[in-house]
Structure 1
Amino acid sequence: MPLSISCSEKNKAGLVILNGKVLTIDEKNPMAEAVAIDGGKIIAVGTTKKISSFISEGFTKVIDARGRLVIPGFNDAHVHFGPLDPDFIELRYITDPAVMTQKVAAQVAKSKPGELIRGGHWVHELFTDKLWPTKELIDKVSPDNPVILDRADGHSTLVNSYVLRMSGITKDTEAPFGGEIQKDPVTGEPTGILKDAAMDLIRTGNSKVTRSIEEENERKWQGYLLAMKEARELGVTSLQNAGAADFQVYEKLQKEGLLTSRIDIGEPLTADTAVLLKYRETEKKYPKTGDWIRFGYLKAFADGSIGSSTALMFEPYSDNPSTSGLAMWPYDEIEKMIVTADKMGFQIGVHAIGDKANNWVLNAYEKAIATNGKRNSRHRIEHSQTVSLSDIPRFAKLGVIPSMQPTHCISDKLFYEKRVGYERCKGTYAWRSFIDSGSILAFGTDYQVEPLNPMEGLYAAVTRKDRLGEEGEGWFPEQKLSMEEAIKYYTLGSAYAQFMDDRKGMIKAGYLADIVITDRDLLTIPEDQIMKTKIDYTIVGGKVVYSKEE
């Protein structure tokens, strides 16, 4: 078939994709072969013969998909996006705590006395002894440097004695509301583990690295470029930042033609109307009618995490009956913040992991409706991890979006039943139950808590098995999704959560041309091939921003 044929000036496209297996996520036209794009938008979807008529020789760029899968670009509904730090100590997936010692020692060797050493992403349940790490692991190699190593969930951190000393944390220090200072049961001394609000006590007294302002700015700028590169290589065309970020940096990226993922940026939830009025001014500058840099939702935390045993539960933890988790705010304060912000028309997203935390947030959203009236608010609960079975239908009834991250399921299932017991796990990562009750899911990763790679999330959603693979049907397999469903909630579902489902999340005429082409057919390959799948092309706004072939 010739790839360059004549067409009318009116119908010519800047880019076409031919000979593909196009999963459109459009219920009215679920599968196609080809796509025509112009002016940043999709102008036609159909057969290769039909779309070939949009080719204008010398004008149209043609991608021959050669039978590969073509899907909407991935829209990560919950990320903590920002510049990557080249000095960060990566501890993801380590099984031997001694690796912490080795990596800290190596970084200390490259650092000056007093310079802060940071790292993280460890999970003690992956350690061979499954014990919480202690300051002794790192004290011996970091006597003159502050060291902070965050757990993967971001709700606990390990610090060395240098940091404890600078922070004034001793055996007599009481933990603040919503926090815990882990102490040795025999000596009463701090072990070096601080949880949630107790992390706010950290003081490092660190010596600043001697860099000029220009050098520091350049270092951060390169960190943003590395982060953007990672996103486009993984096919992530949209990012919904969970909380605040620097709008001006993304404006600069856009101005220089380096913004290769669309981004929503929010702010912290508050009941302070003066602050909310300032947010409203920011929202006017970055409106929801925009397509690139937009004001997102207001974020708050209701509780901690299951991994750190700080998620707020109705009943005590099965493996630690002395605690039922931690509330980050008293309920009355959560309700006040939600009702106030809702009245002013903001979208709200509250982090809730435990069943009690989810119940509290649903109650507060219900109160907002009773007080302010019902509207198309699309409020969210970020994570929605462990939910009482009786609360699951309330999400759809109240119009609340479960914003969920599938990889948390396969990371946390290692310890979930140990923490909360079998019965409570029935409402854990309950994707199928949410859908059956009428909810629209929004999928993401919680990057950098979890890797940004969408393939890991898709694998988790359809298998509920650990990353190494395992026999059987997976963990609570009745909650699994089909691959097509998983892709839908990673694209159109996430777009719905940000009020963009009218123009993003489907391969459909009139929609934004955010598209990826994969090197394997996710709809037919065996499950052990899903995480090995790579992106061949990433297209954002009709522009090829990544091509493995080029």
Structure 2
Amino acid sequence: MIVTRARRLGDASGQSVDIVLRDGLIEAIVPAGSAFTEGHEVVDVDDRVVMPGLWDEHVHFSLWAQHRRQVSLHHADSAAQAARIMADAVEANASSENPDPVVIGAGYRDGLWKDAKTTQVLDALTGDTPVVLISVDVHSCWANTAALDRFGVVGHRDDGVITEREWFALSQQLSDVDATTIDGWVLDAAHHAASRGVVGIVDLEMTLSAPDWIRRVASYGARYPLTVECGVYPEDLETAIAQGLRSGLELAPGVTVGPFKIITDGSLNTRTAQCVEPYLGVEGEHYGALNWPTEDIEAMLVAADKAGFWLAVHAIGDKANQTVLDIFEKNDLHGRIEHAQLVRAEDFERFA
């Protein structure tokens, strides 16, 4: 293929070029109109700017594919408004030909809401239809009583709020979709991402997703729209090591093993990220917390590093970042901290 009359991003000359592609790689870049075109597919981009493809280094791709089909709560500015949005969704779902057993909304930001999330608020508007609202940070949910009953959730009967590892376990039940359906949704999402210039992703889905991507690529029958690196979580680390997996190992065309991912603390919106100082606007002194004991985090990171995995460590609060930096320094580990949203000034230079 030849991409003709293209301008390169950052090229001060602004001159148009022909880009010669072979087997998915750039073979040559020559002045516009000078490439030998016989026998080649030619795409004239009419002096549009061409740039390297984008990589999204941190996605939960199946989750995103499902969120695209769920009720959007991004504009809800209160618990009451979010509940009303879900009430409308419940009504629409009930009148559909194939109603969903659980109505799911996603994307609310409750950090500045003035009213409280309670099961009473949700139950009053959604009745006996199971309803789950997922926070934008994907570290918590708000569920009505019918949903708590359906999924056997113990406790949380007053507020319906479930956070961190308990929520992660529930989210796996909500994401339990047959392979054919989820693969179709993922492919649609992959095409959408590719249309925006994304060529590759690091998929940090909270399951051992490598078999899923191998299946998707094999069934597609052509080059999949995205290149994929598949992450591994603590629950699957022993299995992955036993299978000989390591970061960079090719599993299928365009599919490789990605990093070892561990979520050490929560998020700021859910007020579970571990911080040095207490959160404001919440009852009592609440600092957030680590999801794992420090010694367990250290042991898993050392084991993953020894097995040949790159490290991708979720740490958002300043206290969690300090803990992870301590572990990296003590064990001479290499990798990156995902998010690092709240970092104390004295810790910035430690990232180097």
Pair 282,345 (structure 1): closer, same or farther in 2 beyond 3 Å: closer
**1: CA distance between counterparts of 2:296 and 2:173?**
33
Q: What percent of counterpart residues are identical? A: 26
Pair 139,381 (structure 1): closer, same or farther in 2 beyond 3 Å: same
Gaps of 5+ in 1: 1-14, 171-180, 182-188, 210-215, 397-550
Give the aligned partner of residue 329 of structure 1: 292
Alignment of 1:114-263 (within 5 A): 115-125=101-111, 130-165=114-149, 167=152, 169-170=154-155, 190-199=158-167, 216-243=178-205, 244-255=207-218, 256-257=221-222, 259-263=224-228
Q: 1:278 aligns with which of 220, 233, 242?
A: 242
Pair 133,75 (structure 1): closer, same or farther in 2 beyond 3 Å: same
Q: Which amino acid aligns with 2:123?
A: D
| TM-superposed deviation, 1:328 | 0.6
Q: 2:60 aligns with which of 80, 83, 90?
A: 80
Q: Which amino acid aligns with 1:33?
A: S
Q: Which amino acid aligns with 1:131?
A: D
8 Å contact kept, 1:271–1:336? no
Q: 2:46 aligns with which of 66, 71, 78?
A: 66
Instruction: Give the RMSD, CA atoms, in angstroms.
Output: 3.4
Q: Which amino acid aligns with 1:267?
A: V
* Aligned residues between the structures: 339
Give the aligned partner of residue 233 of structure 2: 268
**1: CA distance between counterparts of 2:257 and 2:71?**
32
Q: Which amino acid aligns with 1:101?
A: A
| TM-superposed deviation, 1:46 | 4.5
| TM-superposed deviation, 1:108 | 4.1
8 Å contact kept, 1:113–1:145? no
Alignment of 1:362-511 (within 5 A): 362-369=325-332, 377=334, 379-396=335-352
Give the aligned partner of residue 34 of structure 2: 53
Q: Which amino acid aligns with 1:262?
A: T
Pair 103,75 (structure 1): closer, same or farther in 2 beyond 3 Å: same
Pair 271,368 (structure 1): closer, same or farther in 2 beyond 3 Å: farther
8 Å contact kept, 1:125–1:131? no
Give the aligned partner of residue 422 of structure 1: none
Give the aligned partner of residue 93 of structure 1: 75
Give the aligned partner of residue 263 of structure 2: 301
Give the aligned partner of residue 16 of structure 1: 2
**1: CA distance between counterparts of 2:340 and 2:307?**
25
The answer as to 2:317 corresponding to 1:354 is: yes
Give the aligned partner of residue 16 of structure 2: 33
8 Å contact kept, 1:89–1:104? no
**1: CA distance between counterparts of 2:31 and 2:304?**
47
Equivalent position SS for 1:385 = coil
| TM-superposed deviation, 1:112 | 8.1
| TM-superposed deviation, 1:31 | 7.2
Equivalent position SS for 2:346 = coil
| TM-superposed deviation, 1:32 | 6.1
8 Å contact kept, 2:62–2:182? no
Give the aligned partner of residue 287 of structure 1: 249
Q: Deviations over 1:354-408 (max 9, x none)?
A: 1111111111111221xxxx6xx4x111111111112111112xxxxxxxxxxxx
Q: 2:274 aligns with which of 312, 320, 330?
A: 312
8 Å contact kept, 1:237–1:260? yes
**1: CA distance between counterparts of 2:255 and 2:171?**
34
**1: CA distance between counterparts of 2:168 and 2:62?**
21
8 Å contact kept, 1:114–1:145? no
Q: Which amino acid aligns with 2:291?
A: M
Give the aligned partner of residue 345 of structure 1: 308
Q: Which amino acid aligns with 2:71?
A: I
| TM-superposed deviation, 1:115 | 2.2
8 Å contact kept, 1:271–1:338? no
| TM-superposed deviation, 1:154 | 0.7
8 Å contact kept, 2:246–2:308? no
Q: Deviations over 1:193-219 (max 9, x none)?
A: 22213426759999x99xxxxxx4432
Pair 357,115 (structure 1): closer, same or farther in 2 beyond 3 Å: same
8 Å contact kept, 1:299–1:350? yes
8 Å contact kept, 1:32–1:46? no
| TM-superposed deviation, 1:74 | 0.9
Q: Deviations over 1:480-533 (max 9, x none)?
A: xxxxxxxxxxxxxxxxxxxxxxxxxxxxxxxxxxxxxxxxxxxxxxxxxxxxxx
**1: CA distance between counterparts of 2:250 and 2:114?**
45
What is the TM-score of this pair, normalised by structure 1? 0.55
